[in-house]
Amino acid sequence: MCAVEITPVVSTERLILRGPVITDAPAIAGLVNDRNVSGMTGMIPHPYGLSDAEAWISRAQANDWDRDANWVIEHQNFGVVGGIGFKGAGAQNNGRPEIGYWLGRPFWNRGYATEAVRGALKWVKRDWRKNVVVAGHFADNPASGQVLCKAGFLYTGDVELRPSAARGGAEVPTRMMVWLA
């Protein structure tokens, strides 16, 4: 008997969300090794090199797609432009998945992040059958808040202190949001 693992793929008008492959590592490392990108995430360190990208790809390929999802965001003309994923429905969020994403600086202000988030939310509703997703954005990153608002998230009024690996583990005020399908 042969077991074939299928990685979910999400298509939007201009983008494809797909599981990462090792050949994506140079593009990922090149885009993420920008402190303006990594510094707005919780888990991505800075500096970020090829070995970091390869390690992330390895972890992403070992995903249990029933609990976690990690995709690269690929543009039909530009290749890899970012990454997006969900931390599964764990106890930290009362069983609600949490979305996170990043986009390389050359691709900011083109609507790609909003398009990717909307596509990922359709997937989580259809495949995970979840009607609630949580998110947070650092208070000093209002652009990410705008992306989430455009994708249908609402502010909860809560501000949590969350660490940023790229900022040396410093705790950063994080504005919490929720999406209700």
Q: Is residue 37 part of a domain?
A: yes
Is position 145 within any domain?
Answer: no
Short-list 99, 102, 96, CA closest to 121:
99
Residue 3 lies in a domain: no
Residue 22 forms part of a structural domain: yes
Query: pLDDT of 125-179, one tens digit each?
Result: 999 899 999 999 999 999 999 999 999 999 999 999 999 999 999 999 999 999 9
What is the CATH classification number for the domain harbouring 69? Answer: 3.40.630.30
Nearest Cα to Cα of residue 78 among 134, 15, 147: 15
pLDDT score of 1 more than 70: no
Any bridge partners for residue 75, and if so which? 15, 79
35-55 pLDDT, tens digit each:
999 999 999 999 999 999 999
Q: What is the pLDDT of residue 6?
A: 75
Reported as type and span, the H/E element at residue 27 is helix 25-32
Report the domain count for the chain: 1
Please compute Rg for the chain using Cα positions: 15
Residue 86 domain flag: yes
- Calpha distance 50→42 (Å, rounded): 19
4 φ, ψ (degrees, to nearest 5): -115, 125
